[in-house]
Amino acid sequence: MPTRLLLLCLSLVATLRAVEEPPKPPVSLTFSVVSWGNAISDLYYKSGGTHKKIVAPAFAPSAFMQYTGPAELVFYSRQAPTSDSNGSEFPAAVSTNPKPEKPREIEACRVLLPADETRATILLAPIDPGHYQGFVIPGDPTKFPFGQAKLVNLYNQPLAIKFNRSGAVLLKPNESTVVAPNTDSSLLIEVAAYKGDKWKRLLDNIFTLHEDEQAMVILSSGDYKFFRNDMGEAAGEVQVTVLRQRKEKPASDKQGTADPSAIR
Protein backbone atom coordinates (compact mmCIF):
# COMPACT_ATOMS: atom_id res chain seq x y z
CA MET A 1 0.00 0.00 0.00
CA PRO A 2 1.43 3.41 -0.94
CA THR A 3 2.52 5.53 2.01
CA ARG A 4 0.11 8.35 1.12
CA LEU A 5 -2.87 5.97 1.06
CA LEU A 6 -1.82 4.38 4.36
CA LEU A 7 -1.61 7.77 6.06
CA LEU A 8 -5.04 8.66 4.69
CA CYS A 9 -6.56 5.45 6.09
CA LEU A 10 -5.01 6.05 9.53
CA SER A 11 -6.35 9.60 9.54
CA LEU A 12 -9.85 8.40 8.71
CA VAL A 13 -9.74 5.79 11.50
CA ALA A 14 -8.63 8.42 14.03
CA THR A 15 -11.42 10.74 12.88
CA LEU A 16 -14.06 8.01 13.22
CA ARG A 17 -12.85 7.14 16.72
CA ALA A 18 -13.04 10.78 17.75
CA VAL A 19 -16.64 10.90 16.51
CA GLU A 20 -17.58 7.63 18.25
CA GLU A 21 -16.05 8.66 21.60
CA PRO A 22 -17.61 11.96 22.74
CA PRO A 23 -15.70 13.89 25.41
CA LYS A 24 -16.55 12.87 28.95
CA PRO A 25 -18.78 15.33 30.80
CA PRO A 26 -17.21 17.27 33.67
CA VAL A 27 -17.53 15.97 37.21
CA SER A 28 -19.19 18.03 39.92
CA LEU A 29 -18.87 16.88 43.51
CA THR A 30 -17.81 17.80 47.03
CA PHE A 31 -14.74 16.18 48.57
CA SER A 32 -12.64 16.21 51.70
CA VAL A 33 -8.91 15.43 51.91
CA VAL A 34 -7.03 13.36 54.49
CA SER A 35 -3.25 13.43 54.78
CA TRP A 36 -1.75 9.99 55.48
CA GLY A 37 1.23 11.62 57.13
CA ASN A 38 2.08 15.14 58.23
CA ALA A 39 -0.44 17.91 57.65
CA ILE A 40 -0.41 19.39 54.14
CA SER A 41 -0.89 23.13 53.67
CA ASP A 42 0.79 23.87 50.34
CA LEU A 43 -1.56 22.11 47.89
CA TYR A 44 -3.90 23.66 45.33
CA TYR A 45 -6.40 22.53 42.72
CA LYS A 46 -8.47 24.17 40.00
CA SER A 47 -12.26 24.12 39.97
CA GLY A 48 -14.27 25.88 37.31
CA GLY A 49 -11.21 27.89 36.28
CA THR A 50 -10.57 29.10 39.85
CA HIS A 51 -7.48 28.22 41.92
CA LYS A 52 -8.30 26.91 45.39
CA LYS A 53 -6.02 26.09 48.32
CA ILE A 54 -6.22 22.87 50.35
CA VAL A 55 -5.41 22.37 54.02
CA ALA A 56 -5.28 18.63 54.77
CA PRO A 57 -4.90 17.67 58.47
CA ALA A 58 -2.84 14.65 59.47
CA PHE A 59 -5.05 11.53 59.66
CA ALA A 60 -8.22 13.64 59.80
CA PRO A 61 -10.70 14.85 57.19
CA SER A 62 -10.48 18.43 55.97
CA ALA A 63 -13.42 20.73 55.46
CA PHE A 64 -15.45 19.81 52.38
CA MET A 65 -14.43 21.48 49.13
CA GLN A 66 -16.34 21.86 45.88
CA TYR A 67 -14.94 20.67 42.54
CA THR A 68 -16.20 21.07 38.99
CA GLY A 69 -13.98 19.97 36.14
CA PRO A 70 -12.47 16.92 34.40
CA ALA A 71 -12.84 13.52 36.08
CA GLU A 72 -9.09 13.47 36.64
CA LEU A 73 -8.42 15.89 39.48
CA VAL A 74 -4.88 17.29 39.63
CA PHE A 75 -3.34 18.56 42.85
CA TYR A 76 -0.28 20.81 42.60
CA SER A 77 1.99 22.98 44.69
CA ARG A 78 3.32 26.44 43.94
CA GLN A 79 7.05 27.01 43.88
CA ALA A 80 8.36 30.54 44.06
CA PRO A 81 10.71 31.52 41.19
CA THR A 82 14.40 31.65 41.96
CA SER A 83 16.52 34.74 41.46
CA ASP A 84 18.13 33.09 38.43
CA SER A 85 15.38 31.18 36.65
CA ASN A 86 17.46 30.47 33.50
CA GLY A 87 19.82 28.14 35.37
CA SER A 88 22.94 30.21 34.63
CA GLU A 89 25.62 30.63 37.28
CA PHE A 90 25.68 34.35 36.43
CA PRO A 91 22.71 36.58 37.30
CA ALA A 92 20.53 37.75 34.43
CA ALA A 93 20.65 41.40 33.40
CA VAL A 94 18.51 43.56 35.63
CA SER A 95 15.54 45.03 33.78
CA THR A 96 14.65 48.67 34.26
CA ASN A 97 11.03 47.63 34.56
CA PRO A 98 11.05 44.10 36.02
CA LYS A 99 7.81 42.12 36.14
CA PRO A 100 7.25 39.77 39.05
CA GLU A 101 7.43 36.16 37.95
CA LYS A 102 4.49 33.91 38.67
CA PRO A 103 5.05 30.89 40.94
CA ARG A 104 5.63 27.64 39.09
CA GLU A 105 2.94 24.98 39.37
CA ILE A 106 4.44 21.61 40.34
CA GLU A 107 2.14 18.61 39.93
CA ALA A 108 1.83 16.69 43.21
CA CYS A 109 -0.85 14.05 42.57
CA ARG A 110 -3.61 12.91 40.20
CA VAL A 111 -6.78 11.03 41.16
CA LEU A 112 -9.72 9.79 39.10
CA LEU A 113 -13.02 10.93 40.58
CA PRO A 114 -16.23 8.87 40.34
CA ALA A 115 -18.74 10.29 37.87
CA ASP A 116 -21.84 9.02 39.70
CA GLU A 117 -21.11 10.38 43.19
CA THR A 118 -21.79 13.74 44.80
CA ARG A 119 -19.21 13.34 47.60
CA ALA A 120 -15.90 11.59 48.10
CA THR A 121 -12.96 11.32 50.49
CA ILE A 122 -9.44 11.56 49.05
CA LEU A 123 -6.47 10.15 50.97
CA LEU A 124 -3.09 11.66 50.09
CA ALA A 125 -0.06 9.57 51.09
CA PRO A 126 3.49 10.95 50.75
CA ILE A 127 5.77 9.07 48.35
CA ASP A 128 8.47 11.70 47.75
CA PRO A 129 8.92 15.28 48.98
CA GLY A 130 6.06 17.27 47.48
CA HIS A 131 4.47 14.25 45.77
CA TYR A 132 1.61 12.01 46.92
CA GLN A 133 -0.25 8.84 46.07
CA GLY A 134 -4.00 9.37 46.04
CA PHE A 135 -6.80 7.02 47.10
CA VAL A 136 -10.45 7.89 46.44
CA ILE A 137 -13.25 6.62 48.71
CA PRO A 138 -16.59 7.41 47.04
CA GLY A 139 -19.69 8.30 49.01
CA ASP A 140 -20.70 10.73 51.73
CA PRO A 141 -18.74 9.89 54.90
CA THR A 142 -21.40 11.57 57.05
CA LYS A 143 -24.40 9.59 55.81
CA PHE A 144 -24.02 6.38 57.79
CA PRO A 145 -25.45 6.43 61.33
CA PHE A 146 -23.52 7.83 64.26
CA GLY A 147 -22.30 5.12 66.59
CA GLN A 148 -21.33 2.87 63.67
CA ALA A 149 -18.22 2.22 61.58
CA LYS A 150 -17.64 2.03 57.84
CA LEU A 151 -15.11 -0.65 56.85
CA VAL A 152 -13.23 0.26 53.64
CA ASN A 153 -10.99 -2.19 51.77
CA LEU A 154 -8.07 -0.42 50.06
CA TYR A 155 -5.98 -3.61 50.10
CA ASN A 156 -4.97 -5.18 46.76
CA GLN A 157 -7.18 -8.27 47.14
CA PRO A 158 -10.48 -9.32 48.77
CA LEU A 159 -10.56 -9.38 52.56
CA ALA A 160 -12.71 -11.53 54.82
CA ILE A 161 -13.63 -9.43 57.85
CA LYS A 162 -15.24 -10.87 60.95
CA PHE A 163 -16.60 -8.32 63.39
CA ASN A 164 -17.70 -8.76 67.01
CA ARG A 165 -17.04 -12.53 66.67
CA SER A 166 -20.45 -13.02 65.06
CA GLY A 167 -20.95 -11.12 61.80
CA ALA A 168 -18.71 -11.52 58.74
CA VAL A 169 -18.35 -9.90 55.34
CA LEU A 170 -16.18 -10.35 52.24
CA LEU A 171 -15.01 -7.02 50.81
CA LYS A 172 -13.44 -6.75 47.37
CA PRO A 173 -10.87 -3.99 46.76
CA ASN A 174 -12.48 -0.53 46.98
CA GLU A 175 -15.67 -1.95 48.52
CA SER A 176 -17.06 -0.88 51.90
CA THR A 177 -19.73 -1.82 54.42
CA VAL A 178 -21.16 -0.32 57.62
CA VAL A 179 -21.11 -2.30 60.88
CA ALA A 180 -22.27 -1.64 64.44
CA PRO A 181 -20.25 -2.15 67.66
CA ASN A 182 -21.17 -4.33 70.63
CA THR A 183 -23.48 -3.03 73.34
CA ASP A 184 -20.40 -1.94 75.30
CA SER A 185 -19.33 0.28 72.33
CA SER A 186 -16.39 -1.99 71.46
CA LEU A 187 -15.76 -3.12 67.88
CA LEU A 188 -13.52 -6.12 67.25
CA ILE A 189 -12.46 -6.89 63.68
CA GLU A 190 -10.53 -9.95 62.48
CA VAL A 191 -9.12 -9.70 58.97
CA ALA A 192 -7.98 -12.52 56.67
CA ALA A 193 -6.98 -12.90 53.00
CA TYR A 194 -6.87 -15.98 50.75
CA LYS A 195 -3.22 -16.90 50.25
CA GLY A 196 -1.64 -20.18 49.16
CA ASP A 197 -4.98 -22.03 48.82
CA LYS A 198 -6.04 -21.13 52.35
CA TRP A 199 -7.25 -18.21 54.42
CA LYS A 200 -4.48 -16.41 56.30
CA ARG A 201 -5.28 -14.19 59.28
CA LEU A 202 -3.60 -10.81 58.82
CA LEU A 203 -4.65 -8.81 61.86
CA ASP A 204 -6.99 -8.39 64.82
CA ASN A 205 -8.00 -4.95 66.02
CA ILE A 206 -10.33 -3.72 68.76
CA PHE A 207 -11.37 -0.13 69.42
CA THR A 208 -14.16 1.83 71.07
CA LEU A 209 -16.85 3.63 69.10
CA HIS A 210 -19.14 5.98 71.02
CA GLU A 211 -22.72 6.76 70.04
CA ASP A 212 -21.88 10.39 69.16
CA GLU A 213 -19.23 9.55 66.57
CA GLN A 214 -18.69 7.76 63.28
CA ALA A 215 -15.53 5.90 62.33
CA MET A 216 -14.12 5.13 58.91
CA VAL A 217 -11.93 2.03 59.29
CA ILE A 218 -9.53 1.90 56.34
CA LEU A 219 -7.70 -1.36 55.59
CA SER A 220 -4.74 -0.94 53.26
CA SER A 221 -1.41 -2.52 52.41
CA GLY A 222 1.20 -2.12 55.13
CA ASP A 223 3.95 -2.22 52.52
CA TYR A 224 3.58 1.40 51.46
CA LYS A 225 6.62 3.57 52.06
CA PHE A 226 4.75 5.95 54.33
CA PHE A 227 3.84 3.13 56.74
CA ARG A 228 7.39 1.81 57.15
CA ASN A 229 9.50 2.66 60.19
CA ASP A 230 12.93 4.31 60.20
CA MET A 231 14.54 0.93 59.50
CA GLY A 232 12.39 0.46 56.39
CA GLU A 233 10.35 -2.32 57.99
CA ALA A 234 6.60 -2.72 57.54
CA ALA A 235 4.42 -3.21 60.61
CA GLY A 236 2.37 -5.90 58.84
CA GLU A 237 0.73 -6.92 55.59
CA VAL A 238 -2.38 -4.89 56.34
CA GLN A 239 -2.49 -1.45 57.96
CA VAL A 240 -5.62 -0.20 59.71
CA THR A 241 -6.32 3.52 59.98
CA VAL A 242 -9.32 4.86 61.90
CA LEU A 243 -10.75 8.28 61.02
CA ARG A 244 -13.31 9.62 63.47
CA GLN A 245 -16.03 12.23 63.00
CA ARG A 246 -17.97 13.56 66.01
CA LYS A 247 -21.58 14.70 65.92
CA GLU A 248 -20.88 18.06 67.55
CA LYS A 249 -18.61 19.04 64.63
CA PRO A 250 -20.68 18.91 61.42
CA ALA A 251 -18.53 17.84 58.47
CA SER A 252 -20.15 20.46 56.24
CA ASP A 253 -18.10 23.28 57.70
CA LYS A 254 -15.77 21.96 60.40
CA GLN A 255 -12.67 19.83 60.53
CA GLY A 256 -12.93 16.20 61.58
CA THR A 257 -11.10 14.54 64.41
CA ALA A 258 -8.80 11.54 64.55
CA ASP A 259 -7.80 9.16 67.29
CA PRO A 260 -4.04 8.60 66.92
CA SER A 261 -4.15 5.69 69.35
CA ALA A 262 -6.39 3.81 66.92
CA ILE A 263 -3.87 4.04 64.08
CA ARG A 264 -1.55 1.04 63.78
More confident residue, 97 or 36: 36
pLDDT band of 143, cuts 50, 70, 90: confident
Question: Is 86 a residue whose pLDDT tops 60?
Answer: no
Same fold, 27-82+99-137 and 142-262: yes
Q: Give domain 142-262's CATH number out of 2.60.40, 3.30.1050, 3.30.310, 1.20.120.
A: 2.60.40
Determine the longest span between alpha carbons in the chain, in angstroms: 79
Position 21 scores a pLDDT of 52
Q: Where are the domains of the chain?
A: 27-82+99-137, 142-262
196-206 pLDDT, tens per residue? 889 999 999 99
Q: What is the mean pLDDT of residues 152-167?
A: 92
The per-residue pLDDT for 260 is 40
- pLDDT on residue 20: 52
Confirm if 158 and 173 have CB atoms less than 8 A apart: yes
CA distance 132 to 56: 12
Q: Report the candidate in 154, 186, 187, 188 with the shortest Cα–Cα distance to residue 171.
A: 154
Q: Summarize pLDDT for 7-64 with one digit per residue, the tens.
A: 445 555 455 454 555 556 788 999 999 998 889 988 999 998 888 999 999 988 888 9
Which whole number is the average pLDDT over 105-129? 91
User: pTM surpassing 0.75?
Assistant: no
DSSP string covering 59-79: TSB---EEEEE-SEEEEEEEE
d(CA 6, CA 4): 5
**Reported CATH class of domain 27-82+99-137:** mainly beta
Specify the amino acid at residue 142.
Answer: T
pLDDT at position 110, please? 95
